[in-house]
Amino acid sequence: MNKTHEYNNNFKEEYKKAIQFLKKGCKCGCSKKVPKEKFAKRRAEFQSLPKIGQDIYVMADLNSMNEGETTTSSRFPKKERTNKRTFYRWNNKTPICLETYLNMLGISHTYLEWVRSHLINKGLTARIHSNIGNMPQWATKMTIDENIKKKIKKFLEKYAQEHGQPDPSQKYARKIAVEVRTSGKIFFLPTEMSYKSVHHDFIISVGENSNLKSLKYEAFRRLWHELTPNIKFMKSRTDLCDTCHKLKNEIHSYKDEKERETQKKNFFSTENKQKSKDATIKRTQN
């Protein structure tokens, strides 16, 4: 529904722009020769195409409208030269100027020249962006490869095990996104932590000589969402009782793993008892 709504809004906007151009008209006056509604519809439909579809459409148009003339140069009378010209038309019949053609499709002159250059050099083939296949850098001084992703993921998972708590209610949480639930057990980090504080701890953990030292905060945060969407922060608003808050703080104070696991069990049993008690109170009130 949302995509259809966006498509309709974009269609109407492009249609309106085409009508506004026709009201103003081009400098040579050829825009008065084209039918308004069909002209505006052509632009709106063209703009609704994907990028590759627009490229192929313009290349096919140029291919049909290009015509060559063989002339001689005044400097080199014995040498023949080919002067290629493009005669823009509406529906391959009515001649139109470049300005009208650009507004008919809603494209810039620069884009048209890019497509023309590609057509001349590589023929009627899809244009491929020069960055496709390159590793993303995400505003950082380093290249993000699979090896770096593994190190960051390992750090975040270990960090969540040491500082976070698994969500005891995730078995029953239907609202949790499928991609998050399938990525692993959901962990909640304490409310006093943030993405920036974890990023700071990460930079400290890698050491002075590591190339990961230059990993920027924004890149770290994007990788966090990509690699470990199951690691989240606990919301500041919570219905935990004072006992649960006390146990939660005690869990982080224990350095011994066995003591920490024991405290986690106490925390979950106390929290579940509190939830059961609250549910009983609500039923009796109703």
* Phi, psi (deg, nearest 5) at residue 84: -85, 130
Domain identity same for 150 and 276:
yes
Where does the pLDDT of residue 168 fall: very low under 50, low under 70, confident under 90, or very high at 90 and above?
A: low
Return the residue matching tokens 């750090």.
155
DSSP 3-state assignment of 80? strand
Task: Tell me the per-residue pLDDT of 242-272, one tens digit each, with 9 for 90 and over.
Answer: 566 556 666 656 556 666 666 666 655 655 5
**Dist CA 175 CA 156 (whole Å):** 24
**Dist CA 15 CA 37 (whole Å):** 9
Where does the pLDDT of residue 79 fall: very low under 50, low under 70, confident under 90, or very high at 90 and above?
A: low
Query: Residue 150's beta-bridge partner residues?
Result: none
**Residue 131 domain flag:** no
Domain identity same for 200 and 260:
yes
Residues 6+ apart with CB under 8 A from 133: none
Task: Please give the pLDDT value at position 255.
Answer: 58
**Residue 134 domain flag:** no
**Residue 141 domain flag:** no
Task: Tell me the per-residue pLDDT of 276-286, one tens digit each, with 9 for 90 and over.
Answer: 445 544 444 44
Task: Tell me the per-residue pLDDT of 118-143, one tens digit each, with 9 for 90 and over.
Answer: 888 888 787 776 555 565 555 555 67
Range of the domain at 209: 146-285
pTM value surpassing 0.85: no
Which of 198, 201, 199, 169 lies closest to 186 in space, CA to CA? 169
Domain identity same for 153 and 104:
no
Domain identity same for 244 and 173:
yes
Domain identity same for 160 and 206:
yes
Domain identity same for 105 and 165:
no
The pair of three-digit structure tokens given for residue 41, joined into one six-digit string = 């519809």
**Residue 194 domain flag:** yes
Q: What is the tally of structural domains in the chain?
A: 2
Domain identity same for 67 and 198:
no
**Residue 140 domain flag:** no
Domain identity same for 57 and 176:
no
**Residue 86 domain flag:** yes
Task: Please give the pLDDT value at position 132.
Answer: 58
Task: Please give the pLDDT value at position 65.
Answer: 84
Task: Tell me the per-residue pLDDT of 192-247, one tens digit each, with 9 for 90 and over.
Answer: 888 999 998 998 888 777 788 888 888 888 899 989 998 988 876 555 555 665 56
**Dist CA 118 CA 59 (whole Å):** 9
Domain identity same for 185 and 88:
no
